[in-house]
A and B are shown apart, each in its own frame.
Chain A
Amino acid sequence: MAQQQIIEITPAELIEKVSAMKAQGQRLVQICCSKLPDHLEVAYSFDKDFAFLSYRLTLADTSTPVPSISKIYGNSFHYENEIHDLYGVEVKGISIDFKGNFYRTALKTPFNCAPEGEVKP
């Protein structure tokens, strides 16, 4: 199995680190947000020749805005709109900003709210 690495960074460093990746010819593979009991994690994963590297931001809550990397990687608008719609993380300066209409969900930020309780079969 190819190796994979996760490096913790802060939102302020993000643009600089991602630009460096672009310069190396890395491919942006995915951006993923995870909700953990007390904080949120956003992982930016890159791949070149099967070496998998992720930069991880840790956010205390959704009040901290994250800069958009869509000026560097054109395909990131997709993932950024997704984390905005599902988790409510504010992403600043997305190239195509759907403003919360990327996913048509019944609940706002469905992945970042309390579970509605067990649905009885």
Chain B
Amino acid sequence: MSERTIIPFGPQHPVLPEPIHLDLVVEDEKVIEAIPSIGFIHRGLERLVEKKDYVDYVYVAERICGICSFIHGLTYCMAIEELMKVQVPDRAQYLRIIWSELSRIHSHLLWLGLTADSFGFESMFMQSWRLREQILDIIEETTGGRVIFGSAKIGGVRRDISSVKMDEIMKKMNVYRKDIAQLCEQFMKDQTVKHRMQGVGLLSRADAISLGAVGPMLRGSGIAQDIRSTGYSGYDRIGFTPVTETAGDCYARCMVRMREMDASFVMIEQCVGKMTDGPIEVKVTGNPAGEFFMRSEQPRGEAIYYAKANGTKFLSRLRVRTPTFANIPPLLATLAGCQLADVPVIVLTIDPCISCAER
């Protein structure tokens, strides 16, 4: 038996845009165990709910994460709507799906670039971020913001998309869809990519359940768990089937995300087809009371908002469980036994978003 060494990985590391620290116990080049350490950027946003009233908190909720900002705001709004028994108009629900799926596409493209970059495929990074920029342009045209959409609101949405604009967008989207599909194909068929990802970072089906993995991490291990199946915000009205892969390795998780991007385009198309004119918001009066666990599917996995209200305009507790927080324990399981050089790739395939994990 050779000697064991501990190698610190992060919080500052070339492949990590955000601070997570892992103590890697290695024997030669093999990782035996990984011990995580987070909490560098804990902001205490959950407690801010005691100082911001429930309407203003939407802006804070949107800023929990910089990438899946819209779905954070949306989940918060849905939790409050559930407490106040507000029925959101149909058009608003379709708009919410469109923006959710746009943010899923842009988040997955961002992830694709970072993952490719983690093993030195830098031109893929540039290509995917170039495509992402076009999606961001659509988002800016429709909501006014590039990353912070600011369009979710308790009781509906803030902005409407006119039908002229919608046609324009759909024309562009058809082109982008082809570009993205082509890019994904090039990535997935590449010999080097396969070499670096197939059979690396295996997470078995049983482990995925017992370690509480979420999102593409769970679906990559063959479990068809996608909160969109519960039909929140009108997902029940459009045909939706979760994307799954069975291999459970890094490659399978990539494949899940690639296919999800394509599914998102289909969903946006369906929404545009089914949308009818109508109001985009309902007026919300009064204060929320009661408690509810709202769940939604973010690009990184399932997010849970637990809201407990006491009939005043300040909630008594808001708890946010973000997908990355749930994905860290399975990450540790996949790291055990891998090669040291594969650590960045495995870390990137959970699509880490540490800032939102720490709220």
Are any A and B Cβ atoms less than 8 Å apart in their complex?
yes
Is A55's CB within 8 Å of the partner chain B?
no
Is A12's CB within 8 Å of the partner chain B?
no
Is A60's CB within 8 Å of the partner chain B?
no
Q: How many residues of A contact B (CB 8 A)?
A: 36
Also in contact, A104 and B42, with CB within 8 A (given A45-B293, A77-B329): yes
Contact of A115 among B50, B211, B225, B319 (CB under 8 A): B50
Q: B316–A4 contact, CB under 8 A?
A: no
Residues of A within 8 A of B304 (CB): 29-30, 45
Q: A73–B210 contact, CB under 8 A?
A: yes
- State in angstroms the CA–CA spacing of A29 and B330 once bound together: 13
Instruction: Name B207's closest neighbour in chain A (CB-CB).
Output: A74
Give 1 or 0 for each of B16-29: 1 = CB within 8 Å of chain A CB. 00000000000000
Also in contact, A103 and B39, with CB within 8 A (given A4-B293, A50-B229, A78-B329): yes
Kindly state the interface size class of chain B when it binds its partner.
Answer: 35 or more
Q: B321–A78 contact, CB under 8 A?
A: no
Q: A22–B35 contact, CB under 8 A?
A: no
Residues of B within 8 A of A29 (CB): 212, 302, 304, 321, 326
Contact of B47 among A25, A78, A85, A110 (CB under 8 A): A110
Contact of B306 among A22, A35, A43, A110 (CB under 8 A): A43
Q: A103–B42 contact, CB under 8 A?
A: yes
Residues of B within 8 A of A105 (CB): 39, 42, 44
Count of chain A to chain B residue pairs whose CB atoms are closer than 8 Å in the complex: 89
Residues of B within 8 A of A22 (CB): 210
Is B111's CB within 8 Å of the partner chain A?
no
Instruction: Name B318's closest neighbour in chain A (CB-CB).
Output: A34
Q: B210–A36 contact, CB under 8 A?
A: no
Is A54's CB within 8 Å of the partner chain B?
yes
Contact of B51 among A35, A43, A118 (CB under 8 A): A118
- State in angstroms the CA–CA spacing of A105 and B333 once bound together: 27
Instruction: Name B78's closest neighbour in chain A (CB-CB).
Output: A1
Which B313-357 residues have C-beta < 8 A from chain A? 316-317, 319, 321, 325-326, 328-330, 333
Residues of A within 8 A of B317 (CB): 34-36
Contact of A102 among B39, B210, B330 (CB under 8 A): B39
Also in contact, A2 and B44, with CB within 8 A (given A32-B319, A75-B211, A102-B38): no
Is A108's CB within 8 Å of the partner chain B?
no
Q: A75–B46 contact, CB under 8 A?
A: no
Q: B211–A34 contact, CB under 8 A?
A: no
Contact of B358 among A54, A74, A103 (CB under 8 A): A103
- State in angstroms the CA–CA spacing of A105 and B292 once bound together: 28
- State in angstroms the CA–CA spacing of A54 and B330 once bound together: 22
Q: A111–B212 contact, CB under 8 A?
A: no
Is B230's CB within 8 Å of the partner chain A?
yes
Residues of B within 8 A of A1 (CB): 82, 230-232
Which B40-62 residues have C-beta < 8 A from chain A? 40, 42, 44, 46-47, 50-51
Residues of A within 8 A of B275 (CB): none
Residues of A within 8 A of B333 (CB): 74
Chain A nearest CB: distance from B298 CB in Å? 14
- State in angstroms the CA–CA spacing of A103 and B326 once bound together: 16
Give 1 or 0 for each of A10-42: 1 = CB within 8 Å of chain B CB. 000000000000100101111010111000000
Chain A residues packing against B (C-beta within 8 Å) = 1-2, 4, 6, 22, 25, 27-30, 32, 34-36, 43, 45, 50, 52, 54, 73-75, 77-78, 85, 96, 98, 101-105, 110-111, 115, 118
23 pairs, A vs B, C-beta closer than 8 Å:
A2-B230, A4-B292, A6-B291, A27-B212, A29-B321, A32-B321, A34-B308, A34-B317, A34-B319, A36-B316, A45-B293, A75-B330, A78-B325, A78-B329, A85-B39, A96-B35, A102-B38, A102-B39, A103-B38, A103-B358, A105-B44, A110-B44, A115-B50
Chain B residues packing against A (C-beta within 8 Å) = 35, 37-40, 42, 44, 46-47, 50-51, 82, 209-212, 225, 227, 229-232, 291-293, 295, 302, 304, 306, 308, 316-317, 319, 321, 325-326, 328-330, 333, 358
Top 5 A-B pairs, shortest CB-CB distance: A75-B329, A103-B39, A34-B317, A30-B321, A75-B212
Q: A28-B212, A30-B326 are in contact. List 6 more A-B contacts (CB 8 A).
A: A4-B292, A29-B326, A36-B317, A78-B325, A102-B39, A105-B44
